[in-house]
């Protein structure tokens, strides 16, 4: 891995990832407001219009938007090449992803075929462009353990998007084979346990040792665990409910828990144990992953335990507890770090300005990250309880909206501090 060497040679302009980071929390706020509008009914099962729309505003609008933006930053560093055409592709994909997310959410809310068709077409164009550009980089041989994981994550995304589009087609009355009409579970598994979990794994192999000075993830397991997760997902989709699928669930649950447990142990073994809210977010996210996977295994073994409320709780733990916790935590570190790195590069022509560079905490004060952690923890606790006690849905949705609003303000603060420092450097 030649991370450091490639970091600056191929580092895209700050505006490329940052446009995604800045717009993502707005979708989170919109999702929270929809849950607020849906009231207690949103918490009765996962198929209500508001729940489906809010879920996709969180997964596509927030999670996928940040992940796509981050891949524009990370992939050149890992693979050694920029994403082809990133200067036009990034703004184009950003608009397309936003438009597809809004069209999909509207189609759920209005039960409208024209909106479903619009969402279908927009999603097809968006992901064909994104996966095409990503695929051009990923098909090249080589790359480390992270690139291996990103390949499996991209494959999972392709399957999840294709199954999701088929489901939209079925909603529109389109004809599909019987076995494909029951693909909701597979869509959800490939999206959350494939694309999201595998991408988090792949990125964590790089960012955790680099940012938090921990030991590296054990080399023999860095590829084995993502491979086991992907194989389990394929077996679960291909097989019927028999012994093979039981083994696939066991493989999926044990691989995911092994990843989470090893990563948590890496944090315990870091050299300097300073208080760091990004690490707290990681610990919260990984703990939620463990609980969600245990719940998934238990629901498979004892289907009578799995009701609408526990299915919603499983979704909350995976989406808000695992994925969104880790994404928010990483943004607390990555946003000021990228801003600082671009400022440092701007100083190369003004060496005297290097002494005036702000610190990471000047760009994003630790206090803001601490408040973010407690806001997120509060909204997660309320959201997890709401399916069992729907009156909690109102404060839960409000807390989630505040959580995302605080994130948006933090990201804007970093941008303002960056622009102020850049002006200062240019004036010297």
Partner 1 sequence: MNGLHEGEILLDASAMEPPEPLQRATVILQQLEPGQYLRMLHRRLPYPLFDACKSLAIDHRHFPGRHSHWVILFWRHEDSATAQYCRKLEP
C-alpha–C-alpha distance, residues 308 and 25, integer Å: 27
Out of 337, 373, 404, 406, the residue judged to bind partner 1 by CB under 8 A: 337
C-alpha–C-alpha distance, residues 428 and 425, integer Å: 5
CA-based radius of gyration for the chain: 21
Q: For residues 111 and 273, which CB has a smaller minimum distance to partner 1 in the complex?
A: 273
Q: For residues 243 and 271, which CB has a smaller minimum distance to partner 1 in the complex?
A: 271
Q: Report the nearest approach of partner 1 to the CB of residue 94 (Å).
A: 27
* Binding segment toward partner 1, per CB under 8 A, in 195-203, 236-244, 247-255, 353-361: 353-361
The answer to whether residue 423 forms part of the interface with partner 1 (CB under 8 A) is no
Out of 77, 138, 208, 347, the residue judged to bind partner 1 by CB under 8 A: 347
C-alpha–C-alpha distance, residues 64 and 56, integer Å: 10
What residues from 267 to 286 belong to the interface with partner 1 (CB under 8 A)? 271-272, 274
Out of 108, 130, 230, 340, the residue judged to bind partner 1 by CB under 8 A: 340
Nearest residue to 119 (alpha-carbon basis) of 129, 106, 109, 131: 106
The answer to whether residue 234 forms part of the interface with partner 1 (CB under 8 A) is no
What residues from 2 to 61 belong to the interface with partner 1 (CB under 8 A)? 3-5, 7-8
Q: Report the nearest approach of partner 1 to the CB of residue 355 (Å).
A: 6
Checking phi first, is residue 217 left (phi over 0); if not, alpha (psi -120 to 50) or beta? Answer: beta
Q: Report the nearest approach of partner 1 to the CB of residue 4 (Å).
A: 4
C-alpha–C-alpha distance, residues 309 and 392, integer Å: 13
* Under 8 Å between Cβ of 227 and 198: no
What residues from 188 to 217 belong to the interface with partner 1 (CB under 8 A)? 210-213
Nearest residue to 58 (alpha-carbon basis) of 388, 371, 321: 321
Instruction: Using CB under 8 A, count the residues that bind partner 1.
Output: 27
* Under 8 Å between Cβ of 314 and 295: yes
Q: Report the nearest approach of partner 1 to the CB of residue 213 (Å).
A: 6
C-alpha–C-alpha distance, residues 20 and 13, integer Å: 13
List contacts with partner 1 (CB under 8 A).
3-5, 7-8, 210-213, 271-272, 274, 337, 340-341, 344-345, 347-349, 351-352, 354-355, 357, 359-360
């Amino acid at each position: 891995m030649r991370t450091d060497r490639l970091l600056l040679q191929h580092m895209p302009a700050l505006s490329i990832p940052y446009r995604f980071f800045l717009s993502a929390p707005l979708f989170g706020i919109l999702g929270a407001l929809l849950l607020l509008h849906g009231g207690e009914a949103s918490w009765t099962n996962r198929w209500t219009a508001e729940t489906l729309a809010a879920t996709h505003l969180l997964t596509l609008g927030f999670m996928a938007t940040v992940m796509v933006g981050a891949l524009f930053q990370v992939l050149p560093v890992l693979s050694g090449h920029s994403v082809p055409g990133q200067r036009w592709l990034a703004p184009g994909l950003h608009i397309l992803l936003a438009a597809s997310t809004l069209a999909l959410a509207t189609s759920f809310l209005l039960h409208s075929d024209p909106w479903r068709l619009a969402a279908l077409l927009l999603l097809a164009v968006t992901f064909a462009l994104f996966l095409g550009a990503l695929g051009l980089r990923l098909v090249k041989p080589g790359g480390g353990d992270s690139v291996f994981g990103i390949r499996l994550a991209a494959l999972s995304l392709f399957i999840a998007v294709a199954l999701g589009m088929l489901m939209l087609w079925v909603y529109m009355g389109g004809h599909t084979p019987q076995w494909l009409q029951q693909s909701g579970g597979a869509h959800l598994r490939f999206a959350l346990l494939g694309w999201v979990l595998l991408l988090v794994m792949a990125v964590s192999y790089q960012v955790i040792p680099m940012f938090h000075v921990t030991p590296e993830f054990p080399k023999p397991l860095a590829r084995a665990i993502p491979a086991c997760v992907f194989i389990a997902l394929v077996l679960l989709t291909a097989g019927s409910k028999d012994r093979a699928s039981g083994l696939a669930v066991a493989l999926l649950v044990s691989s995911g828990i092994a990843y989470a447990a090893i990563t948590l142990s890496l944090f315990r073994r870091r050299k300097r144990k300073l208080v760091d809210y990004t690490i707290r977010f990681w610990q919260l996210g990984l703990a939620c992953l463990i609980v969600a996977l245990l719940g998934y295994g238990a629901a498979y073994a004892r289907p009578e335990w799995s009701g609408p409320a526990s299915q919603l709780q499983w979704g909350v733990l995976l989406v808000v507890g695992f994925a969104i916790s880790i994404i928010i935590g990483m943004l607390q570190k990555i946003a000021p770090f990228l801003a600082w790195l671009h400022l440092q590069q701007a100083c190369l022509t003004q060496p005297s300005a290097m002494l005036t560079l702000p610190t990471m905490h000047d760009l994003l004060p630790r206090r803001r990250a601490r408040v973010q952690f407690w806001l997120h923890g509060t909204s997660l606790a309320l959201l997890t309880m709401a399916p069992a006690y729907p009156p909690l849905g109102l404060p839960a949705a409000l807390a989630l909206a505040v959580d995302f609003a605080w994130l948006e303000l933090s990201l804007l603060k970093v941008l303002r501090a960056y622009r102020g420092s850049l002006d200062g450097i240019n004036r010297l």
